[in-house]
Amino acid sequence: MRIEADYDRCEGHGQCEERAPEVFELDDDGYLTHHYEGRDLPAGLEDAARGAAAVCPVAALRVVETSPAPRT
């Protein structure tokens, strides 16, 4: 699976970084970096990333189901 981030919608609240810091990172100005932009997540990060998408208060993160990721 992948996560698509809507950077226009993101307000920098940071809940995604708390849930999945390997995937999402905010800089000091509150701008989001998505470390897996445009590519599938490793299987071991999928649950955390789903949790991050679920808690985003402005629904800026969308889960996209793709082919199964290889187990890591």
> Residues in contact with ligand SF4, total (CB under 6 A)?
14
What is the C-alpha to C-alpha distance for residues 72 and 62, in angstroms, rounded to an integer? 23
Task: Choose between 27 and 65: whose C-beta lies nearer to ligand SF4.
Answer: 27
Taking CB under 6 A as the rule, does residue 16 contact ligand SF4? yes
Residues 34 to 63 in contact with ligand SF4, rule: CB under 6 A = 56, 58, 60-61
Structural element, H or E, at residue 39:
none
Partners of 5 in beta bridges: 61
Our separate counts of H helices and E strands in the chain read 2, 4
Q: Minimum distance between the CB of residue 41 and ligand SF4, rounded to whole angstroms?
A: 15
Q: Six-digit token pair at 20? A: 């999945």
Q: Which residues bind ligand SF4 (CB under 6 A)?
A: 10-16, 24, 26, 32, 56, 58, 60-61
